A and B are shown apart, each in its own frame.
Chain A
Amino acid sequence: MYDFDWSSIPGALPFLWTGMKVSLQITVTAVVVGIAWGTLLAMARLSSMKLLAWLAAGYVNLFRAIPLVMVLLWFFLIVPQLLKGLFSLDPNTDVRLVSAMVGFALFESAYYAEIIRAGIQSVPKGQAAAAAALGMSYAQAMRLVVLPQAFRNMVPLLLTQAIVLFQDTSLVYVSALADFFGAAYKVGDRDGRLVELLLFAGLVYFVLCFVLSQIVRRLHKRLATA
């Protein structure tokens, strides 16, 4: 039987926490930018301007058709070159974190756009029509009438997507950036204790995501009955 030896974990906790902070940084950036940019994309997709709607649909469908791993590889290739070209950075600057943030934000915004589009469409048409009849402009009607109602319906879905996104941040492994999973792998590899560290990483992800998803489920029930 395999001899478990968990002794390398306590000493590595500060390093693992540094990794967790990277994971959380990427998640928060991608959620905030993703929802903002996703809202614009969703409104563009529902716009009466054909070209705008078509461009937004192209963006969303393209990102949704490509594996996240491939999207990340693209961004780790392009973003460093762009940044270096624009800001003449020190060649030693670590741009992988920035690349990961940009990649995740643009990728997730496609998924958020679809959730938000469905949310906007779930608001009865009469609401937008009534706002227009009251003399509101399109922007006012969206900001004051349609979007607040749409977001109220969408909150559970947006949060669920954030949990999925948090799990997906482990894929920055392809750039050797040390997020929580990358840190756990490095420690396991260094100490020859990959089995323990991988199981530990799995357990941490499970506990975090399970607890969060239960909270979202509660919230969903409360919003639904309100």
Chain B
Amino acid sequence: MAYHWNWSIFTSPVPTGDTTYLGWMLAGLQTTVALSLSAWLIALLLGGLIGVLRTVPSKWLAGLAGAYVEVFRNIPLLVQLFIWYFVLPELLPFGLGEAFKQKLDPLTQQFLSAMVCLALFTSARVGEQVRAGIGALPAGQKNASLALGFTLPQTYRHVLLPMAFRLVVPPLTSEFLNIFKNSAVCSTIGLLELAAQGRQLVDYTAQPYESFIAVTLLYLLINVLVMTLMRVVEAKTRVPGYLGGK
């Protein structure tokens, strides 16, 4: 089997002529990063809320948050993505679905669906970590805070959450890495992120090995950068006296 290697493919212009194949790759990288970061931001906020709700005394609220987590954890990401992208616009009331399909350009539709999908999928996982973090705090912290006259919301805001969020930074690192990897699933709805650009390059140039090697290296690069960043964050937020702390 003689494969014709051609690394100069990345500097050759694409058919439309306005950029090179390397330009496509970098555009894909940009979409992957933008998508993952925006979804991560939502997932953190929403996950924090879900984690808190799972620990509140109200059985009803805790059960609701529990159901949320089970739904998003037990349906494959790909199925969730297709439901957001293909099903939801059909079911939205008051012409909202029509507006989504007709007023927005396809790129925005894909990006929004992918972002919401990744964000909610990840928020369920973040919620579980936050719940575990709150659960790991000694019961005395909450009791002492209530005894001092804090209300329950104040207890969460000033006592429980500041500690819990510091405790869950290491497990959140792996969720942060996951969101970048999971974003590759969004290539299936036609969103031109990194993996999709790689496949498009194969379709246009028939150079699969160069393309896949480049895409794989870029994912590894993202992985290394995120790990380096999170190592700094972990060191800064470590709680002295706790496992892994100084």
Contacts and interface: CB of A to CB of B under 8 A. Distances in A.
Interface of A: 1-2, 62, 65-70, 73-74, 77, 81, 85, 163, 167-168, 170-171, 173-174, 181, 185, 194-195, 198-199, 201-202, 205-206, 209-210, 213
Contact of A66 (B70, B74, B188, B216): B216
Interface stretch (B45-53, B78-86, B104-112): B78-86
Contacts of A210: 70, 74
B93 interface: yes
Nearest to A201: B79
A167 B75 contact: yes
B83 A74 contact: no
Contacts of B180: 67
A160 to B, nearest CB: 10
Prevailing SS type, chain A contact patch: helix
Interface residues of B, number: 38
Given A66-B220, A70-B212, A173-B188, A198 B77 contact: no
A181 B79 contact: yes
Prevailing SS type, chain B contact patch: helix
Q: Which of B73, B74, B195, B215 has the most CB of A within 10 A?
A: B74
A69 B212 CA distance: 11
B223 A198 contact: no
B182 interface: yes
A173 B71 contact: no
The 8 closest A-B pairs by CB, nearest first: A67-B184, A209-B74, A167-B76, A67-B181, A69-B184, A65-B223, A170-B76, A170-B78
A85 B93 CA distance: 55
B90 A65 contact: no
B9 interface: no
Contact of A77 (B82, B90, B208): B208
Given A67-B195, A174-B188, A195 B87 contact: yes
A195 B184 CA distance: 23
Contacts of B78: 170-171, 173, 181
A2 B215 CA distance: 40
A167 B181 contact: no
A99 B75 CA distance: 24
Contact of B83 (A62, A67, A198): A198
Contact of B86 (A77, A198, A206): A198
A224 to B, nearest CB: 16
A194 B76 contact: no
